Structure 1
Amino acid sequence: MDKKLIIDCDPGHDDAMAILLAASKGNGLQIEAMTTVAGNVGVDKNTINALRVCELAGLDDTLVAKGADRPLVREPLEAAHVHGKSGLDGTSLPEKPVKQAADMHAVDVIIEKIMNADKDISIVAIGPLTNIALAMRREPRIIPRIQEIAIMGGGTFGNRTPAAEFNIYADAEAAKIVFESGAPLTMFGLDVTHQALATDERMKQLAAIDTPAAAAVMDMLHFYSGAYKGQFAGAALHDPCPVAYLIDPAMFQLENVRVDVETKGEFTYGMTVIDGSDRPNREPNVQFARQLDSDRFWQLFMNALSE
């Protein structure tokens, strides 16, 4: 039986790559719904981008629902300097998708899909955690029915601030709710996503794949890589990591840790405080991805784009 999942996202070049990976054939995943949230750009643009990527991926029947347009407490924060004003700058995807979003709010979709499922559903959370926190607050009964939440966010260092990664920083209050919920969480922070780099050599391998999906990803990477020039050996494929984990968990090394989200610090707001010790009253609440077999990851990604 395929693993059922909801993708909660804010597309985003690397979100788009994650969706394409999740949509690939024979990977053991079944996308039940896609929900969007304010993040890389506003939720309206993110929803349009999700629909555009669904059309590219052949997800014509996948329900797409627009979600929260702002964080729980703070003002919205965007990353247009990384993804462009549209959130998917540099791509040749049609600007106006034919596919339409559902009338339901994303939070209602998350609750309905989980409560009505005949088996547990996993959530791939690759944007700020606002929708998921709202769903947990509105209907706590979903929490024990969630198979797993695979989160791209956090880490032992930051990218939005020295202490905080963007997805957590964008709505730390929501992240705190999710991390303290008791749901099974697996966290893919910057420590591991920066092991999934689109190096020059890997870009050459990708360029040799003659499919519309591979061509679209090449366009995305040409734009997206600009944010990483001079800092890293290539663009980090953050959001495909939790999807790759659900397909092939063995490519990751995981550690049970305690993660707390800082919501009050002047300089540390949005920090994920990661504690791998055995201190009393500090029970682990997260599986934390430490290491990635990057060659195995890249081969999986290329295979998905070769279809």
Structure 2
Amino acid sequence: MQKIIMDMDPGIDDAAALSVALNDPELDVDLVTTVSGNVTVDKTTINALKIINFFHDGDTVPVAAGAQDPLVKPFEDAARIHGESGMRGYEFSDDLPSPLKKTAVAALHEHIMNCEEPVTLVATGSYTNIALLLSEYPEVKSKLSRIVAMGGALGRGNMTSAAEFNVFTDPDAAKIMYQSGVPIVMIGLDVTKKALLTNETLEEIQNMNRAGKMLHDIITSDGDQSENGVAMHDVNTIFYLLHPEDLTTEPMWIDIQTTGPANGATVGDIRGAYHNGETNADVAVDIDAAAFNRWFKTEVQNMKK
């Protein structure tokens, strides 16, 4: 079983990723921390608690609220995609557990340092909490086996022509993370835009169980759909953890642009020309989209709700 911590900004695709992670027997979600991104951190925290409560009925996973703002640049949300609440489409219970009183950074430091084995940190929002953690408590680096991060693109972005949303939200935090020396797997738009959940998959899951209906309803409320389906970007991090054989990764050096019209761009040294052959990330460049859809349907079918 893989012990993981999820740092996220739910968000529809974060919610779907958390739903799968909470239910898969190969994963142990030890802590969830939240950050502003898709919507403000007060809302992302409530959304994380809603998903955990939906599946756990009081036997909760601890949740700690984190950064309200990026390190440097002004905050811009994605409510136009996810709705004002960040997770429209389904009516969840309002009888929720409370988040931890400690901050996300304090909770991350405590949990990581207390783990007997190195832990995987799954990042599906902006990386502000992670940058603060690595800057304030550099000793955690040796206790992290890797960071699996949804974000970035080697090609076109989805926030600007160059920048993917998670990195664009806080490029200065992304730069700190990629320069930290912690092993990083970058799951970017190069694969998440290929692995669409098809309309057929969404039709199937809504009739499987209560969880399938919930996921169908929030996913089909996503404002970033195409006629071929919807990209559940963050779910790809969980797919990678469980089925790395279905993704192709390449080691390369990733630089983060933090100024100018390309602010938030992830620049991959694809030719290995500028960093003396050194790399700081394994970058996903291809994915088996059909396998992704089959896997997602199986995960939903096996959910206990």
TM-score scaled to structure 2, two decimals?
0.95
Aligned counterpart, 1:141: 139
**What's the offset of the Cα at 1:282?**
4.8
* CA distance, structure 2, for counterparts of residue 281 and residue 103 of structure 1: 45
SS in 2 for 1:144: helix
**What's the offset of the Cα at 1:57?**
2.4
Write out per-residue CA displacement over residues 215-247 of structure 1, whole angstroms, 9 at most, x where no aligned residue: 0011012211x3224xx6211010010111111
Does structure 1 conserve the Cα–Cα contact (< 8 Å) formed by 2:39 and 2:79?
yes
SS in 1 for 2:282: strand
* CA distance, structure 2, for counterparts of residue 31 and residue 264 of structure 1: 35
Does structure 2 conserve the Cα–Cα contact (< 8 Å) formed by 1:51 and 1:97?
no
* CA distance, structure 1, for counterparts of residue 289 and residue 56 of structure 2: 27
SS in 2 for 1:186: strand
Aligned counterpart, 1:276: 270
Q: Which moved more, 1:100-109 or 1:297-306?
A: 297-306
Does structure 2 conserve the Cα–Cα contact (< 8 Å) formed by 1:20 and 1:304?
no
Where does 1:1-307 land on structure 2 (aligned, <5 Å)? 2-26=1-25, 28-58=26-56, 60-94=59-93, 96-155=94-153, 156-209=155-208, 211-224=209-222, 226-229=223-226, 233-265=228-260, 267-279=261-273, 280-306=275-301, 307=303
SS in 2 for 1:223: coil
Does structure 1 conserve the Cα–Cα contact (< 8 Å) formed by 2:256 and 2:264?
yes
Does structure 2 conserve the Cα–Cα contact (< 8 Å) formed by 1:21 and 1:244?
no
* CA distance, structure 2, for counterparts of residue 58 and residue 157 of structure 1: 39
Does structure 2 conserve the Cα–Cα contact (< 8 Å) formed by 1:160 and 1:169?
yes
**What's the offset of the Cα at 1:183?**
0.3
- Paired letter, 1:162: S
* CA distance, structure 1, for counterparts of residue 253 and residue 71 of structure 2: 23
**What's the offset of the Cα at 1:97?**
3.7
**What's the offset of the Cα at 1:118?**
0.2
**What's the offset of the Cα at 1:207?**
2.9
Displacement over 6 Å in runs of 4+: none
- Paired letter, 1:81: R
**What's the offset of the Cα at 1:52?**
0.2
SS in 1 for 2:220: helix
* CA distance, structure 2, for counterparts of residue 216 and residue 208 of structure 1: 10
**What's the offset of the Cα at 1:264?**
1.6
* CA distance, structure 1, for counterparts of residue 24 and residue 265 of structure 2: 36
TM-score scaled to structure 1, two decimals?
0.94
* CA distance, structure 2, for counterparts of residue 97 and residue 249 of structure 1: 37
- Paired letter, 1:55: N
SS in 2 for 1:35: strand
* CA distance, structure 1, for counterparts of residue 85 and residue 149 of structure 2: 24
Query: Which runs of no fewer than 5 residues in structure 2 stay unpaired?
Result: none
The aligned length equals 299
* RMSD (Å), alpha carbons: 1.3
* CA distance, structure 2, for counterparts of residue 171 and residue 207 of structure 1: 35
* CA distance, structure 2, for counterparts of residue 25 and residue 240 of structure 1: 13
* CA distance, structure 1, for counterparts of residue 245 and residue 49 of structure 2: 31
Does structure 1 conserve the Cα–Cα contact (< 8 Å) formed by 2:253 and 2:269?
yes
* CA distance, structure 2, for counterparts of residue 301 and residue 198 of structure 1: 8
Query: Which runs of no fewer than 5 residues in structure 1 stay unpaired?
Result: none
SS in 2 for 1:178: helix
* CA distance, structure 2, for counterparts of residue 302 and residue 219 of structure 1: 15
Does structure 1 conserve the Cα–Cα contact (< 8 Å) formed by 2:109 and 2:133?
yes
**What's the offset of the Cα at 1:169?**
0.3
